[in-house]
Amino acid sequence: MRVGRRHAKSFREMGVGAKVFMTIFALVFVGAGIAVLVLMLSDLGQTADTYGWKEKPCRILSATVGEKTRTDNPYRLEVLYEYDVAGRRHICDVYMRDYRGTDDYSEALRAAHHYAPGTEATCYVDPSDPTRGVLAHETAWKGFMLLFPIPFIAVGGGILYALWRPRKKRPDGSRAPEPISAKAKKGGATRWLLVFFAVFFVVGVVATYFAFIRPWQRIQDAKGWAETPCRVEYAWIEEHAGEDSTTYSIEVLFAYTYDGGDYKSSWYSFAGGSSSGYSGKKAVADRLLRERQTVCFVNPGDPYEAVLDREFTSEMWLGLIPVAFALVGGIGGF
């Protein structure tokens, strides 16, 4: 890639001071990426260990949803189950390894209904310590988180490569300019650039799907959801402090009855994340608490899913920000 070679040439022509600064900058990127990757690999290894634990039949003693509002993950499945190992009865309360709850009440409620008291289930017991067990394995999707440190390592490694890659010597001992290979003339790129841009492209596409496309699809689907009376139990404004500013999100918990079943949901809208504008959000939360009785929209095919506001909001346009990453990866790599 000609752009990459021009950048590599400019890096090599830097002064000593600039080279040292860029080297330190690149090492910080590489070091941070490797440190995060090692921590994630360690955590993933512990999760993988539970997949080697022995399956045991168990009986659910209790399963409820714990509520602790104004925290990052305010809802959690609180479960108690028993199993036998070598004729001895053991009682355990661990749902998953490193389970910290969820911000989606319906997720916890769905699990609580699945593990209703008296239900026969399968748990997984540590063969070296029968007092340790888990009721469910953590999702394998956790492994995809390993992709996130790669751009840091790729950026830092690419800069170091461009700064310090030695050039071939001429017979007289002088450095010869690097030839542009036929592959480069055809628009190819060095491997590190390809990896760097490919990761940017994949991360941008995946993030755009979850931040914008998926919420937009949910809004279209929710147009056919059933309008249902509901009662607001909690409504508050969650603050998300950043380095330069603070953003806010509306957090709710409401109860409703659908098709003879009692449910709760914590979905205010399909917009994820948070944004500025405290006063407008505070007015909405105050109104919900004041009125209590309102209507929600329930998914007839899955009544665990319900939302208070099914309209598209201007905040959802922020979900298009990751498109920039996809464009950088697409244009740079192809």
Which of 6-20, 102-116, 208-222, 285-299 shows the lowest mean pLDDT across its residues? Answer: 6-20
Residues 6+ apart with CB under 8 A from 163: 11, 12, 14, 19, 22, 23, 26
List, for residues 54-75, the tens digit of each pLDDT value.
Answer: 999 999 999 999 998 777 789 9
Using an 8 Å Cβ cutoff, are 119 and 59 in contact? yes
pLDDT tops 60 at residue 165 = yes
pLDDT tier, 140 (very low <50, low <70, confident <90, very high otherwise): low
pLDDT tier, 2 (very low <50, low <70, confident <90, very high otherwise): very low
Q: What is the pLDDT averaged over residues 282-297?
A: 95
pLDDT for res 191: 63
pLDDT tops 50 at residue 147 = yes
pLDDT tops 70 at residue 43 = yes
Q: What is the pLDDT averaged over residues 124-153?
A: 82
pLDDT tops 70 at residue 195 = no
Residue with tokens 């000593």: 16
pLDDT for res 185: 41
Higher per-residue pLDDT: 253 or 312? 253
pTM of the predicted model, to two decimals? 0.69
Using an 8 Å Cβ cutoff, are 105 and 266 in contact? yes
d(CA 21, CA 28): 11
Residues 6+ apart with CB under 8 A from 305: 106, 265, 267, 298, 299
Higher per-residue pLDDT: 292 or 333? 292
Amino acid (one-letter) located at 212: F
- CA-atom Rg of the chain in angstroms: 27
Kindly report the three-state secondary structure assignment for every residue of 61-82. Answer: EEEEEEECCCCCCCEEEEEEEE
Q: Which stretch of DSSP H or E encloses residue 163?
A: helix 150-164
d(CA 204, CA 275): 20
pLDDT tier, 112 (very low <50, low <70, confident <90, very high otherwise): very high
As a whole number, the mean pLDDT across the chain is 82
Neighbour order of strands in the sheet with 246-258 = 261-265, 246-258, 226-241, 293-298, 306-307
Cα→Cα distances 205→90, 214, 246, 328, Å: 46, 12, 27, 11
d(CA 16, CA 132): 57
Which of 111-115, 176-180, 227-231, 243-247 shows the lowest mean pLDDT across its residues? Answer: 176-180
pLDDT for res 39: 84
Dihedral (CA of 94, 99, 100, 101) sign: negative
pLDDT for res 150: 76
Give all strands (DSSP E) within the chain, no chain letters: 54-67, 75-85, 88-92, 120-125, 133-134, 226-241, 246-258, 261-265, 293-298, 306-307
List, for residues 215-266, the tens digit of each pLDDT value.
Answer: 888 888 889 999 999 999 999 998 887 777 888 889 999 999 999 999 999 9
Which of 2-11, 145-154, 271-280, 303-312 shows the lowest mean pLDDT across its residues? Answer: 2-11
pLDDT tops 60 at residue 22 = yes
Which of 61-65, 81-85, 260-264, 326-330 shows the lowest mean pLDDT across its residues? Answer: 326-330
pLDDT tops 50 at residue 189 = no
